[in-house]
């Protein structure tokens, strides 16, 4: 995609689910943000959220990666996988077009279960079969890339990567990490990258860090650089959380915990500059204030 070559930095969106819940007062199921597509008010909320992020890209003349609200839009959560993923892609594309932002649409794929808990994660073979349906649906809907994010276990991440690879679409992987640089099942990031990159069908375009505090990302990337400097270039971006609580505590949180947007943006950019990341944005708990604070630093 040209988008990643024309600018030193690409800005991503921030949180969708936590904004829908805490800012707009919508009750969602198990991170089923796609359920907002089912009614006019839900669609209005999604459009407002995406337009707010896109407007930041326009204001600072930055290209953006906008992820579809489809993290759990797979067979365990909906019987209409193809329709839901198509409608989500159309909504994001329309929101981008309405603002005039230069944007790539990332088709988001999440784990079959809890992104913070590896118990019950699918095997590689199960995951390839399970995630293939959604990967095909998003590819058919015309996303620019697939983005499998916050997977807690290497087996399911590997299978999801193979499902993405079958579509022939560009794709990125974002394993769920602890501060020590291991996935939630204990797999070191270095081992995860080495294993998946060795599989021609599963090798992604690149890796991202998602749903992680900047301080934890610093530690995780430092461990990667120490353990396998030749693989460090494979991680190109971060979608960060504005809280430094560990993943298990965030999973149980009943309110958004955050530091000030300026401090958060400073921390994100420190990680990016230290480790050569060029895709930067937010995840759970962030909002347009955080994305704008990051954009201001990127553009300065």
Instruction: At 42, list the tokens.
Output: 């839900």
- As given in the structure block, the two tokens for residue 240 are 């960060």
SS (H, E, C) 270-297: HHHHHHCCCEEEECCCCCHHHHHHHHHH
What pLDDT is recorded for position 12?
A: 98
pLDDT of res. 87: 98
CA 196 – CA 44 distance, rounded (Å): 39
Q: What tokens does 191 get?
A: 């081992």
pLDDT at site 88 = 98
Q: What are phi and psi of 136, to 5 degrees?
A: -65, -40
Task: Identify whether the C-beta of residue 204 lies closer than 8 Å to the C-beta of residue 164.
Answer: yes
Nearest to 74 by CA among 116, 39, 107: 107
Task: Give Cα separations from 46 to 41, 49, 79, 108, 141 (angstroms).
Answer: 9, 5, 21, 15, 18
The reported pLDDT for the residue numbered 291 is 98
- pLDDT at position 256 is 63
pLDDT (0 to 100) of residue 29: 84
Neighbour tally for 25: CB within 10 Å: 8
DSSP string, 189-241: HHHHHHHHHTSTTT--SEEEEEEE-HHHHHHHHHHHHHH-GGGGGGEEEEEE-
Tokens linked to 165: 């690879």
Query: Using CB atoms within 10 A of its CB, is residue 87 exposed (0-12), middle (13-18) or buried (19+)?
Result: buried
> What's the total number of domains in the chain?
1
Q: Which stretches of the chain drop beneath a pLDDT of 50?
A: 2
In angstroms, rounded to a whole number, what is the distance separating the alpha carbons of residues 166 and 168?
6
- The three-state secondary structure class of 146 is strand
Please name the residues in contact with 204: beta carbons below 8 A apart, sequence gap of 6 or more: 161, 164, 171, 172, 173, 196
List b or e across 147-182, with b for residues whose CB sees 16 or more CB atoms inside 10 angstroms.
bbbbbbbbbbbbbbbbbbbbbebbbbbbbbbbbebb
> pLDDT value at position 3?
56
What domain range is 267 assigned to? Answer: 2-299
Rounded Cα–Cα distance for residues 191 and 204 (Å): 15
Instruction: Using the CB atoms, write b or e for 251-264: b if 16+ within 10 Å.
Output: eeeeebebbebeeb
pLDDT digit string, tens, across residues 92-142 = 999 999 999 999 999 999 999 999 999 999 999 999 999 999 999 999 999
Question: Collapsing DSSP states into helix, strand and coil, what is residue 150?
Answer: strand
- Per the DSSP assignment, residues forming a β-bridge with 188 are 182
Q: Which two tokens stand for residue 290?
A: 């955080």
Q: What is the CATH number of the domain that holds 8?
A: 3.20.20.330
CA distance 144 to 180: 32
């Amino acid at each position: 995609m040209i988008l990643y070559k024309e600018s030193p930095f690409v800005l991503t969106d921030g949180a969708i689910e936590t904004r829908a819940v805490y800012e707009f007062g919508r009750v969602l199921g198990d991170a089923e943000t796609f359920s907002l597509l089912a009614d006019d008010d839900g669609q209005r909320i999604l459009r407002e959220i995406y337009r707010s992020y896109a407007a930041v890209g326009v204001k600072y003349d930055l290209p953006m990666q906008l992820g579809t609200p489809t993290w759990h839009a797979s067979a365990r959560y909906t019987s209409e996988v193809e329709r839901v993923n198509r409608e989500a892609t159309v909504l994001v594309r329309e929101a981008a077009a309405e603002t005039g932002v230069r944007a790539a649409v990332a088709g988001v794929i999440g784990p079959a279960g809890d992104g913070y808990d590896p118990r019950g994660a699918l095997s590689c073979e199960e995951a390839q079969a399970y995630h293939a349906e959604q990967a095909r649906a998003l590819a058919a809907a015309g996303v620019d890339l697939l983005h499998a994010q916050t997977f807690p276990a290497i087996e399911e991440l590997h299978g999801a990567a193979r499902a993405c690879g079958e579509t022939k679409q560009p794709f990125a992987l974002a394993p769920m990490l602890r501060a020590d640089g291991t996935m939630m099942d204990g797999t070191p990031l270095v081992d995860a990258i080495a294993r998946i990159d060795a599989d021609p069908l599963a090798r992604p375009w690149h890796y991202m860090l998602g749903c992680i505090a900047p301080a934890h990302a610093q530690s995780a990337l430092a461990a990667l650089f120490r353990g396998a400097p030749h693989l460090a270039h494979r991680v190109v971006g971060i979608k960060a959380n504005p809280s430094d609580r560990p993943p298990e505590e965030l999973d149980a949180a009943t309110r958004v915990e955050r530091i000030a947007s300026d401090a958060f943006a400073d921390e994100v950019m420190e990680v990016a500059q230290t480790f050569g990341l060029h895709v930067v944005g937010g995840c759970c708990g962030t909002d347009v204030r955080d994305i704008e604070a990051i954009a201001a630093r990127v553009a300065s």
